[in-house]
Amino acid sequence: VVDIPNSMTVLPELLPYSIEMSKRKLTGIMNFTNPGVVSHNEILQMYKDYIDPEFTWSNFTIEEQAKVIVAPRSNNLLETQRIEKEFPMILNIKDSLKKYVFEPAVEKKAELRAAVKEMRGR
């Protein structure tokens, strides 16, 4: 994993906003993403904290990554002032991941751990 912060969208939170945007007839540019950035390590740490305390991973450099991917990755921090103005209740990315992804996943811990171990060939 290359540990680079990125903007990210948590769809279970933001999809209802898209319906509201349509009802309000909002037009123009609005980055449909949660405010803030989250790094790959932070997401993996959340997985470890909520789902599998034995989970491990290792980091590598961008140069090492370039040797194993077909096309370069895009990393970004998107501006979110407009969506925050229209929907002041929008959660920052880290809180949204916890509320909409990791907290609900706790109920299926064993199932998720088994699936991840199978994907990793362990």
Q: What is the pLDDT of residues 50-61, one digit of tens each?
A: 999 999 999 988
Q: What is the mean pLDDT of residues 14-36?
A: 97
Are the CB atoms for 75 and 19 separated by under 8 Å?
no
Q: What is the pLDDT of residues 78-115, one digit of tens each?
A: 999 999 999 999 999 999 999 999 999 999 999 999 89
pTM of the entire predicted model: 0.89
Mean pLDDT over each residue of the chain, to the nearest integer = 94
Task: Extract the tokens encoding 32.
Answer: 């449909």
Q: What pLDDT is stored for residue 70 in this prediction?
A: 85
Q: What pLDDT is stored for residue 65 in this prediction?
A: 86
Q: What pLDDT is stored for residue 69 in this prediction?
A: 86
In the chain, what percentage of residues exceed pLDDT 70?
Answer: 100
Are the CB atoms for 75 and 4 separated by under 8 Å?
yes
Q: How confident is the model at residue 33 (pLDDT cuts 50, 70, 90)?
A: very high
DSSP category for residue 91: P
Handedness of CA 111, 92, 94, 70 (dihedral sign): positive
CA dist 69 and 31 (Å) reads 27
Are the CB atoms for 76 and 6 separated by under 8 Å?
yes
Are the CB atoms for 78 and 35 separated by under 8 Å?
no
Q: What is the pLDDT of residues 66-81, one digit of tens each?
A: 888 888 888 899 999 9
